[in-house]
A and B are shown apart, each in its own frame.
Chain A
Amino acid sequence: MMRDECPSRRDFIQKCLAMGALTLAPGVSVADALAWAQAKRNAAMSPTPWNELGPFYKRKAPNVAALRAPGDKGLPLSVSGRVFDVRGQVLEGATIEVWQADDDGLYDLDGYRFRAALVADRAGRYGFESIMPGHYPARVCQHIHYLVQAPGCKSLTTQLYFATDPAFEGDPARNFSKDPLVQSVELVRPVTMTKRADMSVAAVTFEIVLGRL
């Protein structure tokens, strides 16, 4: 686990004081300012909402970012994000396990198709190339399952949903609960269509915030 590549809050406050950008009122110490900054940062990040694991999680998925194989049906999908803790520290080395249905809404139970166990890099970044999951018949929404773990943090099971899902009828804020398992609209992420080489790719950013133990 490492801090983000930016000056420490103490350095930053000292610099602001030195340059006159910050003036402390009488009776307010640098420590007070630091505590304020810390509290502000803590308040800024709340843990990513929980969502249930689902029955199809499988251990020992491969560490591969390319879940999409040549010839796979479905809209190509690129998912990326960073992993933080609630204090805003990036979590290098966090493990991000993802699994999803294929374009037909089927999970691979016998192998590891559309399953991966990724590791966050120095900046907490992760990413994978897949396809937009099909609709599993017993669920309302398209989704990708996540299990995220990092030392010193609470493990998180959650699911990523897509604002373009027809189930939301164009208004996820109003319609997210049509799937009773979607308990927070925060998990419904906007989709950006991009052009790569000769194909259209849906791109989604999904930042993860883990609670501290």
Chain B
Amino acid sequence: MKHELPALPWAYDALEPYISKQTIEFHYGKHHQTYVNNLNNLIPGTAFENSSLEEIILKAEGGIFNNGAQVWNHTFYWQCLSPKGGGQPTGKLAEAINRDFGSFEAFREKFSAAAATLFGSGWAWLVKTPEGKLEIVQESNAGNPLRQGKTPLLTCDVWEHAYYLDKQNRRADYIADFWKLVDWEAVAERF
């Protein structure tokens, strides 16, 4: 099965001024595309030749896991962002955030800290556990919470390539701007 690079849900410049067109061109057009290409080159003749990305995330190791998970993670990340994003969640998701973190502000601080302190390359995630509880988790490199049986609701990419052209070493500025782009409707649907 050949994996394809899914279309972006918005134009390359749609997230400006928070994430530049140039960053999206490289991040989507080069990094995301390369993970797709690498995966397609790695799977022929292996047990994962006809596997879904989710199966790869659950069972694969090494290069197939790294590239397969990175394909999934980036597609998911794009779907977390929107030029009409920002603000706060409403409804049942807002209630669950209040229940598990105390308040939206407390949640946002905790998620931002997880993104800021992830050392090296990786992702910060808001997930739902099998018991229905919300949690914040850090994953290094290509890590994905599906592997621990948790359902991803929201993610922030903190590989340096996600922000270096725009913010260089100032990861905290990137995270602050990330909140202005979060598509809470999409997050609520996953919940």
User: Are A and B physically bound partners?
Assistant: no
